[in-house]
Amino acid sequence: MPVIAVTGATGFIGRHLCQHFRGLGWEVRALARNPGEYPFDVPGIRLHRCDLPDVIDRAALEGASAVVHCAYMTRFTNRAAAERVNELGTRRVIGIARAARVDRLVFLSSQSAHTGAESYYGLSKLALESLFDGEVVLRAGLVIGRAGSGLFHRMCATVRTARVVPLFDGGRQPIQTVHVSDLCHAVEQCLAKGLTGLYSVAEPGWQPMRQFLQEIARRMSRRPLFVPVPMAPALLALRAIERAGLAFPVSSENLLGLKCLRATDTARDLAMLGLKVRSAGDSLDEALGER
């Protein structure tokens, strides 16, 4: 039985990866910060402790055929602490995996990672990609699926509860999506085909953020007021709020990420993966429709 270890296993993507590979018959070792607090609903997934960068259960990586590195601190108030978890933590995962002679490493990156990025998230993911030379890096679009706490789910919560939804820079940013099940299939294909290198995994087409949020609202039967907000003044205001130490649901880091979003031609990469991904509409229907 092949063995796969997944860091960040109790997060939205990590949880789906564990269940996906267990369904394929793999032995799954799920690495999580607090393993005792999260029982998987699929039997046969073994939980191990992984509190980056200091605690990594080495036994979880011993004899593994593959390690998928999903663990990443996205929300933080202390950037130095985030850098320690993300940068040092990733280096430690790689070092332990290579010492254990793991055959394959897969890094879950993002379309936010590119040379024009200005946010810490985009720049950090881009820098971490370079550590996986000769391995697999998957740049995922906005990941959609049911029940989670990722960016998509926070968008849905905003549309569900807010009377006014701001559209920064008019909501013109290009959004490319990927259903979480299709992303899991992309990891499966990389391992099955023995691929290495960088692949963008998202629907080939895109739509502006404004339209995407409106599609969410329509499926939720909500009618918030969408208000265009200029990007530059919003950034200045948020930085002033942050310097004052005040809490606010949107951060300047969020806006820098939005500002630098760009569409990617994914057709070639999807063809190499032998993968067909759902459209945003189909993904939203699955995630927000009734079971």
Q: Does residue 7 carry a pLDDT above 60?
A: yes
> Which is nearest to 77 in space by CA: 262, 289, 265, 246?
246
Q: Does residue 121 carry a pLDDT above 90?
A: yes
The pLDDT tens digits for 127-152 are: 999 999 999 999 999 999 998 888 89
Q: Which helix (H) or strand (E) holds 47?
A: strand 45-51
Residue reference for tokens 């299939």: 185
Confidence of residue 213 (pLDDT cuts 50, 70, 90): very high
Q: Residue 76: its pLDDT value, please?
A: 78
Q: Does residue 37 carry a pLDDT above 90?
A: no
Q: Does residue 291 carry a pLDDT above 70?
A: no
Q: Does residue 6 carry a pLDDT above 90?
A: yes
| CA distances in angstroms from 146 to 31, 92, 263, listed in the order given | 22, 31, 24
Residues 252 and 242 sit within 8 Å (Cβ to Cβ): yes
Confidence of residue 77 (pLDDT cuts 50, 70, 90): confident
Q: Does residue 224 carry a pLDDT above 60?
A: yes
Q: Going by C-beta distance under 8 Å and a sequence separation of 6 or more, which residues neighbour residue 245?
A: none
Mean local confidence (pLDDT), 4-31: 96
Confidence of residue 209 (pLDDT cuts 50, 70, 90): very high
133: exposed, middle or buried (C-beta count within 10 Å: 0-12, 13-18, 19+)? exposed
Would you state the structure tokens that stand for residue 161, as one six-digit string?
Answer: 């509860």
Q: Residue 166: its pLDDT value, please?
A: 93
Mean local confidence (pLDDT), 239-250: 85
Which of 105-114, 145-154, 168-177, 258-267 shows the lowest mean pLDDT across its residues?
145-154
Q: Does residue 249 carry a pLDDT above 80?
A: no
